[in-house]
A and B are shown apart, each in its own frame.
Chain A
Amino acid sequence: AQSVTQLGSHVSVSEGALVLLRCNYSSSVPPYLFWYVQYPNQGLQLLLKYTSAATLVKGINGFEAEFKKSETSFHLTKPSAHMSDAAEYFCAVSDYGSSNTGKLIFGQGTTLQVKP
């Protein structure tokens, strides 16, 4: 069965610093992977997705993620943090290999704090 593990429930960076949010996946088939962001009192917004094309995926708001099969990782990065990036971030894997329903299995989330 597919699963994801997000390393670090809280990450704190200074404004302008590199953002690195870690995600490792487990999948019996080539995975489809996603990163979502959730701002307070809002739903989840898609940042980017990996669906077996380029291993470096660019998303919205300057975020990107690199798929590394050898490390079973899909870490999210942004070169320079903005105050507006403070939110909760979720990594997810599609379960299509198990059931082909398209439902997503989410990690526990990482709260990003950006300090001025």
Chain B
Amino acid sequence: DSGVTQTPKHLITATGQRVTLRCSPRSGDLSVYWYQQSLDQGLQFLIQYYNGEERAKGNILERFSAQQFPDLHSELNLSSLELGDSALYFCASSVGGGDSPLHFGNGTRLTVT
């Protein structure tokens, strides 16, 4: 058990809809990262928050947004969903710093129909 909790485990929704994915980091970790995993793109970094502030942005679409709350949990919002957004979305947390490993949750599998 990594200590990172993601909900829900599965989401099935229709094109054009909006969903919210939730992540609770490990106790004591200030950094939260979101990754998207798909067969064709592999593991793609989306966005990182550190102690409530956006720290880095990756290949995140404008239709996607995220935030980190004062209790350090994070949410990833995906809107105007398209079929191609179907993927596994992972949250990871770390204490921060380049040599700190990321600890991953079990992911949310999003299926857009």
Interface residues of A, Cβ cutoff 8 Å to B = 32, 34, 36, 41-46, 49, 51, 90, 94-97, 99-109
CB-CB contacts below 8 Å: B26-56 with A: 31, 33, 42-43, 45, 48, 50, 55-56
CB-CB contacts below 8 Å: B1-17 with A: 2, 4
Chain A residue nearest in CB terms to B94: A102
Q: Counting CB contacts under 8 A, is B98 at the interface?
A: yes
* Complex alpha-carbon distance, A45 and B94, angstroms: 13
Chain A hits for B4, CB < 8 A:
43
Interface residues of B, Cβ cutoff 8 Å to A = 2, 4, 31, 33, 42-43, 45, 48, 50, 55-56, 58, 90, 92, 94, 96-107
* Complex alpha-carbon distance, A102 and B50, angstroms: 10
Q: Can you list 21 A-B pairs with a CB-CB distance of less than 8 A?
A: A43-B4, A43-B90, A43-B105, A43-B106, A45-B2, A45-B104, A90-B43, A94-B98, A95-B98, A96-B98, A101-B48, A101-B50, A102-B94, A102-B98, A102-B100, A103-B45, A103-B102, A104-B45, A105-B45, A106-B43, A109-B42
